[in-house]
Structure 1
Amino acid sequence: MTVIQKNEPDVQSGHPASLHGEAVPVTRLYKRRWLIVFLFSSYSLCNSFQWIQYGIINNIFMRFYNVDTFTIDWMSMIYMLTYIPLIFPVTWLLDKRGLRVIALVATAMNCAGTWIKVTSARPDLFGVTMLGQLTVSVAQVFILGMPSRIASVWFGSGEVSTACSIGVFGNQLGIAIGFLVPPILVPNVEDMDELAHHIRVMFYITAGVATLLFILVVMVFQERPEIPPTQAQAAARLIPPESYSYTASIMRLLRNRPFILLIITYGLNVGCFYAVSTLLNRMIIEHYPGEEVNAGRIGLTIVIAGMVGSLICGIWLDKSKTYKQTTLAVYLMSFLGMLVYAFTLSLGHLWVVFITAGALGFFMTGYLPLGFEFAVELTYPESEGTSSGLLNCSAQVFGIIFTICQGKIMDALGTLAGNIFLCVFLLIGTIMTGFIKSDLRRQRANQLERTAAAAKRSDVLDYGTTTPFIQQHSDL
């Protein structure tokens, strides 16, 4: 059912109420908003699946392409590397051309990359598969900054956090499928021709899904609703495009101290998640040889638990608006979860690893939409795409650093030392989060707009009822 939030109409004109010529903005929520966010989640899923599809069967691809483990690690880290230089031109394009153009480019590049990889299922074509992975990694740059923008442009003020969580949900589900499906589709068989067949099947399935999603985006994805969903969005539409400066926006964000702290803490947390995900196969195989499928299932457990955490946190934020308190609590639990995971990994019981990894994922992965929404609150009315882009850029930088460093530490000192390395930085991030000032600008703007709109409606109604009385008793 379509929800409409609008002001009392003027009795004579039928238009929104106005006072002294100043119109009170009309807002409306469209059912299509759910289709838009679910379509975005779907193509985000397809892209994030490919991020981890090599790393979770690291040992199989090493043997197939005859490359070392660090080279296969780069099949995941290339996602992080391409993001860093491209995020600024992409967020500029998002601000200038809007959501639909970004969605079309993202799905087109994702589709092209999957078909390049279809042709690479031969041991002598590692360069081709790297080209395909590079292409889909560029598509990811057009995806990661969109959840908070879609939530703000399409959803009401009481559901933006839930909508953002659904947007991030697709990315997390894709990672979960990336952990689960490749070990099943590509078993560790000795015959190279049979192995090539299994790899080709996986690539064909991915390409088929990516092609379908590209067609759906072309046909269905819409730039924005005709009528804005919130008073804040209505006010944002009144700002002339020529008055917006992308460079000035970046500079304002970099002078926002609470946001700078959030950039660092977000990067530390998500960078740790990237490192754990990329190196998960190596960790599990070291302590549980031959358990490639269970390594994928443990990765699935991490992300599924995180998806539940994301949705719970999103709903909680919409109800409570306690952005800093929730972010700090989840960050602290991420640190404790990582600590427990580090010390239980080598106990020799896979069921224990499933439980501790699930607890870690619930909080660490559940933190992702919290960071996005807290950033939008701290930086309003700046572009959601720009603030999200800076957060993700920090995450990619720390992700590359942590993945390389943890991998080297694991090679030299073992998995426990590598995981303790990550625990140290999660503790630092928890402490820094406590120092972030909770300046909820978007909430304040929406409240001010609602108060002003209520006052205008009241004035209009008072004006409409008192004028006839004055006219009738003008002889007094």
Structure 2
Amino acid sequence: MADMEEDMEHEESETGQLLPQHIPTVSSRRYLVLTAFSLLSFCSAAMWITFAPCLYIFVLFFFDHVSTATTNAINSMSAIYMLTYPCFVFLSFRYCKDPPDGPVGYGLKRGIILGASLTAMGGFFRFVGALPSQLGFVLVFAGQTLAAIGQIFIIGLPSRLAVAWFPHDEVNRATAVAVSANNLGIAAGFVITPLMIHEETAVVDIPRAMLYQFLFAFGCVILAMVGFARYPPQRHFLAQDDGAESDQVPVWKDVNFLYLVSAFGIINGVQNAIPTLLAQTILPVFGHADEATVGMLGFYMMIVGIPSSLLTGWYLDRYQLYSFTCRSLYAVTVATVIIFHLALEVGSFWLMTVSSILFGIFSWAIMPAIFQYAGELFYPLNEVISAGWLLGSGNLLGMLFVLIMGAMESSAGYTMRYANLFLISVLVVGMWHMWTVKGQLRRASALQGGSNG
């Protein structure tokens, strides 16, 4: 195809390897690739959050009674995503790496198709296990675990995919779209699950919901195979895989990397913890609220992050002000969580709703910004590695936050008071770490040098 043709010049590296020195033509196929990946990310996120908005309905479906143990069992459906990622993220580093004798972009394609396949397999097990018994819970949990392993090969790839398939002036917007698809999946899970599943008809509703999710996941596998049938044209500034593992040691000695991983991990952990515990947070405070209220609030919290992420991507493509953008968004996010806590303290439903929406706007806008900020600061480190450690930190801290906050829950009134105060304190630490990060935008400098050359 004409849009895949490239004029390539080469320069010999210190190791004797030929490195491409060109700015390749732009492939129109990039939109199909981005669509396929975005739908897959959407599906994975929707499967993650399925159980949170209808927590007590699932508890009664599988266990027939509500207790701390049974609610924690259903919360583990979300927590397994957070636990699996940091434990197995290193697998994506190796599996998404281009083989020495393979085409550039082969590792990216292989990783995404594997992630899609595991997600579909997990969806199948969830459907088979949608039975009102503890055996059904075990099967659904097994399927959730498979899907959780699949997301290891999905959520860390937006920045790598954007650099591989999009020209430099579209990279941040493409990353924002891919990240926003994950937000949209969470939002859809929040709003669709309560609409599809009702306590009176749960025996019918839950298997049907699981079937629909499996069919959607299976469709994502087919679309991923079609979309990634070809290899990416943007190879000039795709971080080289050779020596990627050895590059991890120096980067962990870089204090900026440590601060960035900590700052991202904290804010992403809070993003994971708040939706997971949303029902436990607001239902005891507002007697008129129900699962549909929780679902709609979670939906609004996530959906507003999509335009803000896209706007952030456009702004960064235009001005490249990564440090200013990340610091500002982080500070405002901390303020929204403080307002959220105060709203629950005084029992103001409208203020709680507004603060939740503002939290969604600013906290999710920072995600693509930090992904690409890491890609710029630590280039030529493989983007899969930098994003993997960022998300690994976020998932690990998210799981810890859920466990800690669950243990801090009291018995009456504003039951999550001390849990939310805990979140505010760790966010302040994360903001300080974000403001400490400094460094040169190496990838932008390399692009400028390559263009001049």
Corresponding letter in the other structure for 1:448: G
Q: Hey, what does 1:155 align to over in structure 2? A: 166
CA apart distance, 1:224: 2.7
Q: Hey, what does 1:395 align to over in structure 2? A: 394
Q: Hey, what does 1:439 align to over in structure 2? A: 440
CA apart distance, 1:350: 3.2
Q: Hey, what does 2:182 align to over in structure 1? A: 171
1:137-286 correspondence runs (5 A): 137-189=148-200, 194-222=201-229, 224-225=231-232, 227-228=233-234, 231-233=236-238, 244-286=242-284
| 1:25 has 2:40 as partner | no
Q: Classify 1:252/1:205 alpha carbon distance in 2 versus 1 (closer, same or farther; 3 Å).
A: same
| 1:38 has 2:43 as partner | no
1:29-428 correspondence runs (5 A): 29-66=26-63, 68-96=70-98, 98-124=107-133, 125-189=136-200, 194-222=201-229, 224-225=231-232, 227-228=233-234, 231-233=236-238, 244-289=242-287, 290-411=289-410, 414-428=415-429
Q: Hey, what does 2:66 align to over in structure 1? A: none
Contact in 1 for aligned 2:327/2:431 (Cα 8 Å): yes
Q: Deviations over 1:207-260 (max 9, x none)?
A: 1111111111122324532x436x424xx5xx6x6xx23430211221222122
Aligned identity (percent) is: 26
Separation in 2, partners of 1:157, 1:5: 18
Q: Classify 1:35/1:185 alpha carbon distance in 2 versus 1 (closer, same or farther; 3 Å).
A: same
Q: Classify 1:170/1:444 alpha carbon distance in 2 versus 1 (closer, same or farther; 3 Å).
A: same
- Tell me the SS of whatever aligns to 2:25: strand
- Tell me the SS of whatever aligns to 1:286: coil
Q: Classify 1:53/1:451 alpha carbon distance in 2 versus 1 (closer, same or farther; 3 Å).
A: same
Corresponding letter in the other structure for 2:234: P
Q: Classify 1:26/1:402 alpha carbon distance in 2 versus 1 (closer, same or farther; 3 Å).
A: closer
Corresponding letter in the other structure for 1:82: T
Contact in 2 for aligned 1:343/1:416 (Cα 8 Å): no
Corresponding letter in the other structure for 1:419: N
Q: Deviations over 1:55-111 (max 9, x none)?
A: 111111111111611111111000011112210022111113511111111111111
Q: Classify 1:321/1:179 alpha carbon distance in 2 versus 1 (closer, same or farther; 3 Å).
A: same
Contact in 1 for aligned 2:46/2:188 (Cα 8 Å): yes
Corresponding letter in the other structure for 1:323: Y
- Tell me the SS of whatever aligns to 1:391: helix
- Tell me the SS of whatever aligns to 2:357: helix
Q: Classify 1:5/1:218 alpha carbon distance in 2 versus 1 (closer, same or farther; 3 Å).
A: closer
CA apart distance, 1:345: 2.5
What root-mean-square deviation, in Å, do the aligned CA atoms of Structure 1 and Structure 2 show?
Answer: 2.2
- Tell me the SS of whatever aligns to 2:97: helix
Contact in 2 for aligned 1:285/1:291 (Cα 8 Å): yes
TM-score of the superposed pair, with normalisation by structure 2? 0.90
Q: Deviations over 1:368-395 (max 9, x none)?
A: 1111111101110110001110101110
Separation in 1, partners of 2:97, 2:369: 22
The range that moved more, 266-275 or 113-122, is 113-122
Gaps of 5+ in 1: 7-14, 453-476
Separation in 2, partners of 1:42, 1:206: 12
Contact in 2 for aligned 1:155/1:163 (Cα 8 Å): yes
Separation in 2, partners of 1:400, 1:95: 28
CA apart distance, 1:267: 0.3
Separation in 2, partners of 1:157, 1:369: 15
Q: Classify 1:5/1:437 alpha carbon distance in 2 versus 1 (closer, same or farther; 3 Å).
A: farther
TM-score of the superposed pair, with normalisation by structure 1? 0.85
- Tell me the SS of whatever aligns to 1:83: helix
CA apart distance, 1:25: 2.1
Corresponding letter in the other structure for 1:320: Y
Separation in 2, partners of 1:48, 1:65: 22
The range that moved more, 36-45 or 342-351, is 342-351
